[in-house]
């Protein structure tokens, strides 16, 4: 049963209050029709919640832009993906110049006398619209939403002043989320620069030598990963039929934060055949299938003694030679991943072996310098982690506010 709305709200067909237009019947462009400085051509891959990423857009000739005036973009328009990942939306709060949409997109331009553009933008992120998309999308291999479906979409609208106030509240949260993203991205750029310097130059060295991994401090060594790692072992959970295990597979890894974010509780008798590798606190899990996706994480103490998939190479630092953190930061470098990628075999699921991982060479300073460098990099990681937690809190707040404000369960003050 659809939730009731306040008496002074109404549900209206979007097509009565919004200009809706998709690019239809366009067969794409010849190579000669792309230009370096023409009108921006927006595709769904250019959309973010903070607006269009104009830097990534292709540009098209003036002729191709002018032939479709009905989809020439204006400030305060909304653009939405209609094919593939349907329903992704961006708000056009500024234009770099002329812009239009490609054949995977749809333009929505609200009648500002009845529907606030930003309010509509947030409505299209809400749960009612997600349910609508689920019910309406057509196409088996490539999901699709039709223009006529959007025309008939029922939009819940409070009075215009309340729409504007709701949009202001949610925009404030979005701005905070965007600032958190900017801090995270800036911190990641800082870390990449520090890694490039510290993992190759170290701290305070003046003498350098050529080595198999490039120029390194004279006092450093070059080793294979297996030289500074301990052996790990396999188990067979199926032999302990009723015993419970925590099982970590590749889907357990967050490859942005490089952490284990979920796992499955299994009994021995239900254990998948790949649940074979015993893990300990401080082990580094390095996914060997599609290693370029960087499904890499350190095992926390809560998973000590549990099991992971054979799809991971388990790297266990020999603490008399190295630290977990030193290895961890090395396996995240582009140089390490480049060496791994040339070893990949298979087309559909390219993979490497544990041996391939363990045979990679890295530079190794004395243990004390490893610890000093790792602490610098870990400090930057902690800053990123704190900002990610803040962003996650803000996203939860936004979701709660959307659920309340877009349904009228909570009202905003619009007094003058």
Q: What per-residue confidence (pLDDT) applies to 389?
A: 94
The Cα–Cα gap between 140 and 84 comes to: 10
162-201+369-407 shares the fold of 11-157: no
- Cβ contacts of 340-343, under 8 Å, gap ≥ 24: 340/291, 340/292, 341/291, 341/292
User: For the domain with range 11-157, which CATH number is right: 3.40.640.10, 3.20.20.105, 3.90.220.20, 3.40.250.10?
Assistant: 3.90.220.20
Confidence of residue 9 (pLDDT cuts 50, 70, 90): very high
**pLDDT score, position 416:** 56
54 has a pLDDT exceeding 80 = yes
State yes or no: pLDDT of 35 exceeds 80.
no
Percent of the chain with pLDDT over 90: 78
Does pLDDT of 166 surpass 70? Answer: yes
CB 245 within 8 Å of CB 267: yes
**CA 257/CA 298 separation, integer angstroms:** 11
Is the pLDDT at 8 greater than 50? The verdict is: yes
The CA distance from 124 to 130, in Å, is: 8
The answer, yes or no, to whether residue 64 has pLDDT greater than 90, is no
The CATH H-level (homologous superfamily) assignment of domain 221-364 is: DNA methylase specificity domains (3.90.220.20)
Whole-number pLDDT of residue 331: 96
**32: pLDDT strictly greater than 80:** no
367 versus 416: which is more confidently predicted?
367
Tens digit of pLDDT for each residue in 202-252?
Answer: 999 999 999 999 999 999 999 999 999 999 999 998 888 888 999 999 999
3-state SS class at 330 = helix
The whole-number pLDDT of residue 46 equals 92
Predicted confidence at residue 28, as pLDDT, reads 64
pLDDT (mean) for 326-339? 95
pLDDT at 323 over 90: yes
Provide the pLDDT confidence category of residue 268 given band limits of 50, 70 and 90: confident
What mean pLDDT comes out for the span 116-126? Answer: 96
Contacts of 323 (CB under 8 A, 6+ apart): 317, 367, 370, 371, 374
Q: Environment class of residue 7 by beta-carbon count within 10 Å: exposed (0-12), middle (13-18) or buried (19+)? A: exposed
Report, as an integer, the average pLDDT of 48-73: 89
Q: Is residue 29's pLDDT more than 80?
A: no
At residue 36, does pLDDT exceed 80? no
The CATH number given to 162-201+369-407 is 1.10.287.1120
Residue partners of 348: CB distance under 8 A and separation at least 6: none
Q: What is the rounded average pLDDT of the residues 143-160? A: 92
> Domain limits of the chain?
11-157, 162-201+369-407, 221-364
**CB–CB of 219/227 below 8 Å?**
no
Calculate the average pLDDT of the chain: 92
Residue percentage of the chain with pLDDT more than 70: 96
Does position 397 have pLDDT exceeding 70, yes or no? yes
Beta bridge partners of 156: 11
Q: Are 129 and 11 in contact (CB under 8 A)?
A: no
What is the spatial distance between Cα 147 and Cα 156, in angstroms, rounded to a whole number?
19
What pLDDT sits at residue 106?
95
| 2 has pLDDT over 90 | no
Using 50, 70 and 90 to split pLDDT, how confident is the model at 120? very high
Is the predicted pLDDT of residue 1 greater than 50, yes or no? no
**Cβ-Cβ contacts under 8 Å for 9 (sequence gap 6 or more):** 156, 157, 158, 159, 408
CA distance 345 to 380: 35
Is residue 276 pLDDT above 70, yes or no?
Answer: yes
Residues 6 or more apart in contact with residue 216 via CB below 8 angstroms: 200, 201, 202, 208, 209, 222, 363
């Amino acid at each position: 049963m659809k939730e009731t709305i306040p008496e002074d709200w109404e549900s209206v067909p979007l097509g009565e209050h919004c200009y809706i237009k998709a690019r239809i019947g366009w067969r794409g462009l010849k190579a000669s029709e792309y230009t370096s400085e023409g009108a921006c051509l927006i595709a769904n891959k250019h959309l973010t919640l903070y607006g269009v990423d104009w830097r990534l857009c292709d540009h098209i000739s003036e002729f191709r832009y002018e032939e479709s005036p009905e989809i020439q973009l204006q400030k305060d328009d909304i653009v939405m993906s209609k094919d593939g990942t349907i329903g992704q939306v961006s708000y056009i709060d500024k234009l770099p110049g002329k812009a239009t949409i490609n054949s995977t997109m749809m333009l929505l331009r609200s009648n500002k006398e009845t529907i606030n553009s930003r309010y509509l933008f947030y409505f299209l992120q809400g749960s009612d619209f997600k349910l609508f998309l689920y019910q309406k999308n057509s196409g088996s291999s490539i999901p699709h939403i039709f223009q006529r479906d959007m025309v008939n979409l029922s939009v819940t609208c409070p009075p215009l002043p309340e729409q504007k106030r709701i949009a202001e509240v949610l925009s404030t949260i979005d701005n905070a989320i965007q600032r958190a993203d900017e801090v995270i991205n800036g911190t990641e750029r800082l870390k990449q620069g520090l890694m490039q310097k510290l993992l190759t130059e170290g701290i305070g060295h003046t003498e350098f030598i050529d080595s198999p991994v490039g120029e390194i401090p004279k006092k450093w060594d070059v080793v294979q990963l297996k030289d500074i790692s301990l052996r790990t072992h396999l188990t067979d959970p199926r032999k302990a039929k009723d015993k419970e295990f925590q099982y970590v597979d590749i889907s357990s890894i967050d490859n942005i934060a490089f952490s284990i974010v979920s796992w499955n509780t299994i009994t021995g008798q239900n254990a998948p055949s790949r649940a074979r590798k015993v893990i300990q606190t401080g082990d580094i899990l390095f996914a060997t299938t599609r290693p370029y996706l960087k499904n890499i994480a350190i095992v926390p103490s809560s998973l000590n003694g549990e099991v992971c998939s054979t799809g991971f190479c388990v790297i266990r630092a020999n603490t008399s030679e190295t630290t977990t953190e030193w290895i961890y930061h090395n396996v995240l470098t582009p140089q390490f991943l480049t060496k791994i990628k040339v070893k990949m075999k298979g087309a559909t699921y390219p993979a490497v072996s544990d041996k391939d991982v363990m045979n990679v060479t890295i530079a190794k300073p004395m243990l004390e310098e490893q610890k000093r460098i790792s602490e610098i990099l870990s400090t930057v990681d902690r800053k990123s982690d704190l900002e990610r937690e803040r962003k996650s809190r803000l996203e939860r707040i936004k979701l709660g506010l959307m659920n309340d404000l877009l349904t009228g369960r909570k009202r905003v003050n619009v007094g003058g």
